[in-house]
Amino acid sequence: MYENSEVYVFIVTVYGGILIGIIYDMYRAISYSFKVPKPIRIIEAILFWTITGIVEFLILQKANGYDLRFYNFIGFIIGVIIYLNTVSKYILKLNCKVAKVITSIFKFIFGVFNSIYYIIIYPIHLIFDIIIYKMLNFRKDVR
C-alpha cells in the first residue's frame, strides 16, 4: 500500500479519531471522578482541546504532510463514532476505577502526612506557642 494514497490517509485518520475518543474518555473520567470548581473545569477543557489539536496535527503531518482534505475530517469523525459506540463504556469504567484508586492513594498519603504533622510537628509547634506566649506575658509584667 502506498503511504500517501487516500485510502491510507483515511485509515490513519480513522485511527486518529479512535485515539481522540480515548483521550476524551480520559477527560470524562477525570471530570467525573474529581469534583472541581468551574475555573478548573474550563482549564481542563482548554487542555483537552489543545491535546486533541496537537494529536490531529501530528497525525495529519505523518499521514500526508498537512494536506487537508474533506475525508480527513470524515475519518476523524468516523473514528470517534466507532470508538464511542464500541468500547468507550468499558474504557470509561476502567478510567474511572483508575482515577478512584489514584484518589484513594492521594488521600492515604495526605492522611499519613496529616498524622505525621499531629504526632511530630504539632507538639513542637505547641511548645513554641507556649514559649512565645510566656515571653509576651513576661514583657507585659516587666512594664
Asked if residue 137 belongs to a domain, the reply is: no
* Domain count across the chain: 1
Note down the domain range covering 60: 6-102
Asked if residue 130 belongs to a domain, the reply is: no
Q: Taking 90 as the threshold, does the pLDDT of residue 118 lie above it?
A: no
Q: Taking 60 as the threshold, does the pLDDT of residue 1 lie above it?
A: no
Asked if residue 21 belongs to a domain, the reply is: yes
pLDDT tens per residue across span 17-65: 999 999 999 888 888 887 888 888 899 899 999 999 999 999 888 888 8
Average of per-residue pLDDT across 90-106: 88
Average of per-residue pLDDT across 119-141: 76
Asked if residue 43 belongs to a domain, the reply is: yes
pLDDT band, very low/low/confident/very high, at 107 (cuts 50, 70, 90): confident
Asked if residue 143 belongs to a domain, the reply is: no
d(CA 134, CA 131): 5
Asked if residue 10 belongs to a domain, the reply is: yes
Asked if residue 89 belongs to a domain, the reply is: yes
Minimum mean pLDDT range among 6-20, 37-51, 126-140: 126-140
Spell out the residues 6+ positions from residue 50 whose beta carbon is closer than 8 angstroms to its own.
none
Asked if residue 124 belongs to a domain, the reply is: no
Q: What percent of the chain has pLDDT over 90?
A: 31
Average of per-residue pLDDT across 89-118: 85
45 φ/ψ sector (left φ>0, alpha ψ -120 to 50, else beta): alpha
Average of per-residue pLDDT across 79-87: 94
Nearest alpha carbon to residue 63 among 75, 80, 79, 47: 75
